[in-house]
Structure 1
Amino acid sequence: MKLKTILFFLFISGSLFKVNAQDAQIKFSQRTNDDRSVNFSYDKNDPGSYTIIIKFSELTNCSGPMEREFTLKGTAGSFMNLRPENKLLNIGFNYRSNYIRGKLNPKYDADFVYLLPYKTGTKVNAKESNYVMTQYFGKTAPADWKSYRFYTKDEDTVTAVRKGMVVELKDGYDPERPGEVQFTSKVNEITIEHPDGTLARYTGFKKGSFAVKLGQTVFPGTALGLNSQTNGNDNFNISFILMYLNSKDFENARNENHKSMYGFITPHFYSAGIDNAILVKGQDYTAGDTPDIIRKELNKRELKQFNK
């Protein structure tokens, strides 16, 4: 049986997409069973959700679509089984797989209220960040682009804005010194997948300050790490993007002028004295929380621990 698999991994770093066929984040394997059916399994580097598209260029002795879509969760599992039409013959197949972080088009509440990404009582200044592909590469920004940068006067603890699972950690970089670089992807960041399938990316942590581990469940207000001074800025800050996967157009993503495969959400935040606010750029806010916001996504076991 001839088998040729080509893996492509597309991911967002800040707002840059990259295609990587060398450092595969998912490894696939196939097993032919005694009844000549074929099981497809995977092993992943992290427990987050990935959308995978399987495209068969050849599929013999088996019926079904030539293109199939799956959502892979957890670090390992099975995701597809092929059964032979003629049980006396093996199945022949040739395919390629494309995958990207996130659940495709998850259902989310656009009016969901998030905490500010700092502990209660912290005074922050909120600014909006430009789309880096426009600023440095002349690309058109997505119509729904939204990214915030939250500044504090002193070094402070960055916290989770809602419940979720840590699905990516990127650490080990020192902040760039003034004038050294205008744009870099060498930043310390955490990506958290929320229960509704949306993704929060926190960027700009102090090197070595992470307080969470890959696969850890975090809750509103859970300490993630320390913010930092970036590119010589006097104030300490963190960048925050809320996004979701809204495209599976991998072919277009390889083009130089491709559109983002992610949609971006303008979040509603709770601030001390303001129950539900879309932030105004340049305005000061004070981080806070309420029992209702913290409890609203907790399960019974988590609620029991919270109420102790």
Structure 2
Amino acid sequence: MKNQKLFYAIIIYLIIGVNSEILSQEKNITIVVKRNDDKSVDISYEKKLPGSYYLNLELINLTNSYSSGYNGVVDSYSGNLLSLKPVNTDNHINFSYKISYTMGNHKAKIDSLFTYMLPIKTGKKVKIQEASFLGEKYFGSEKPLNWKSYVIRTKEPDTIFAMRKGIVVKIVDDFTEDVTSGKVYTSKQNYVVIEHNDGSYASYSGLNKNTMFVKLGQTVYPQSKIGILERFGDDDYKLHFSIYQLFFVDLNRENQTLKSQKSALKYITPYFITKSAVGILENNSEYTSEITETVLFQEFSKREKKNYSKNPDAFK
């Protein structure tokens, strides 16, 4: 029974990877400094990856100008941050800087009543189970706020679908299928993270390598194909999925351990449309996936609705 419980556990900071930007800093965001003829300085950024990032730019040993630096959310691939004016126009402005950033917008206004579709084919019936948080039990880590994550197990390599319109902001497609008999847990899972318009995120974990239907920066819609499930253990296929937001910003995590690390994420208990009703999913209950035009078109633009009426397959 103990091993059976482990089947449904997730260590979220190993799977989702939202806060790993702080630790790995692979230069997703770079700073561009432009010195002008009038001795003013324009500071801008360039961002390689799609999605929203909270950015902190600290100016060090700034002379001949005044600025408190920059901290805020950047979501375009490039943009202006600061313009520095010289106090004495005969002298140059001098400074050094350091930056830190993490994925997400901690000030996003989340739509807690939004209706999602289940991440499986319309008409398919599945059992929904809630995942426990392994970090709390085995590492003494603090459980993320409002922790809620779901598990679907199937006997077939089902295709997984987007639950809501959004932008693909992270793809991990590194791990090959491991069918070790009796396996109860692994952090080496492929996954996709999608950012929604209100600043929330959806994660889809447990996908087979090289089966992704999406690319970074792509817009997906309800029922858009995400990927195909990977076999887990002897004969099961298992999907972990959850919806969450960045709750607070903590950019000083380098010396934190698994036990002391506090999650910056807040989890959302969403409403889902199923064949029976729209409501909150109950643990260990069976549901049949459903979709209606009302749910499908919740976030469609007028142009998207028009294009959908002409070619629905283009949105899958």
TM-score above 0.5, yes or no: yes
Report Cα offsets for 1:252-300 as digits up to 9, x if no partner.
57432121112111111111121x2211111111111000011110111
Q: Which residue of 1 aligns with 2:252?
A: 251
**Partner residue in 1 for 2:286:** 284
Q: Which residue does the alignment assign to 1:273?
A: 276
Gaps of 5+ in 1: 1-10
Q: What is residue 161 of structure 1 aligned with on the other side?
A: 163
**Higher mean C-alpha displacement, 144-153 vs 251-260:** 251-260
Distance 2:252 2:290 in 1: 44
Q: Is the 8 A contact 1:52 1:71 kept in 2?
A: yes
Q: Normalising to structure 2: TM-score of the pair? A: 0.86
* 1:253 and 1:261 in contact (8 A); partners too: no
Match of 2:108 in 1: 106
> Any idea what the Cα deviations from partners look like across 1:171-190, whole Å, max 9, x if unmatched?
13123333686654321111
- The one-letter amino acid of 1:27's match is T
* Aligned-residue identity in percent: 34
Cα 1:12–1:299 change in 2 (3 A) is farther
In the alignment, the residues of structure 1 paired with residue 54 and residue 74 of structure 2 have an alpha-carbon distance, to the nearest angstrom, of 6
The letter of the residue matching 2:242 is: I
> Which amino acid in 2 is paired with 1:127?
Q
Q: Which residue of 2 is the match for residue 34 of structure 1?
A: 37
The alignment status of 1:225 with 2:227, answered yes or no, reads yes
Corresponding residue for residue 6 of structure 2: none
Note the residue ranges of structure 2 that are not aligned, 5 or more in a row. Answer: 1-11, 311-316
Distance, in Å, in 1 between the alignment partners of 2:192 and 2:221 is 14
**Is 2:242 the partner of 1:241?**
yes
Partner letter of residue 261 of structure 1?
A
Alignment TM-score, normalising by the size of structure 1: 0.88
Tell me by how many angstroms 1:63 deviates. 1.8
Q: Which amino acid is the alignment partner of residue 40 of structure 1? A: I
Greater alpha carbon shift after TM alignment, 173-182 vs 100-109:
173-182
Q: Given the alignment of the two structures, is residue 185 of structure 1 paired with residue 187 of structure 2, yes or no? A: yes
In the alignment, does 2:307 pair up with 1:305?
yes
2:9 aligned residue:
none
* Maintained 8 Å contact 2:141/2:262: no
Distance 1:132-1:82 versus aligned 2 partners, 3 A rule: farther
Shift of 1:58: 2.2
Aligned to 1:63: 66
Measure how far apart 1:135 and its partner are: 4.0
Q: Is the 8 A contact 1:170 1:190 kept in 2?
A: yes
Q: Measure, in 2, the Cα distance between the counterparts of 1:261 and 1:87.
A: 44
The residue type paired with residue 34 of structure 1 is D
Q: Aligned pairs, how many?
A: 295
One of 71, 79, 82 as aligned partner of 1:80: 82
Residues 110-125 of structure 1: matches in 2 within 5 Å?
110-125=112-127
Amino acid at match of 1:302: E
3-state DSSP of counterpart to 1:304: helix
Amino acid at match of 1:239: H
Question: What SS does structure 1 have at the residue aligned with 2:231?
Answer: coil
Q: Are the equivalent residues in 2 in contact too, given 1:106–1:197 (CA < 8 A)?
A: yes
AA matched with 1:91: I
2:284 match: secondary structure? coil
- Structure 1 CA distance for aligned equivalents of residues 83 and 182 of structure 2: 52
Equivalent pair of 2:142/2:261 in contact (CA under 8 Å):
no
Aligned counterparts of 2:234 and 2:208: Cα–Cα separation in 1: 14
Shift of 1:56: 2.7
Q: What is the CA distance between 1:219 and its match in structure 2?
A: 0.5
Deviates more, 1:96-105 or 1:75-84: 75-84
Contact 1:127 1:148 in 2 (8 A): yes
Query: In structure 1, what residue type is equivalent to 2:152?
Result: F
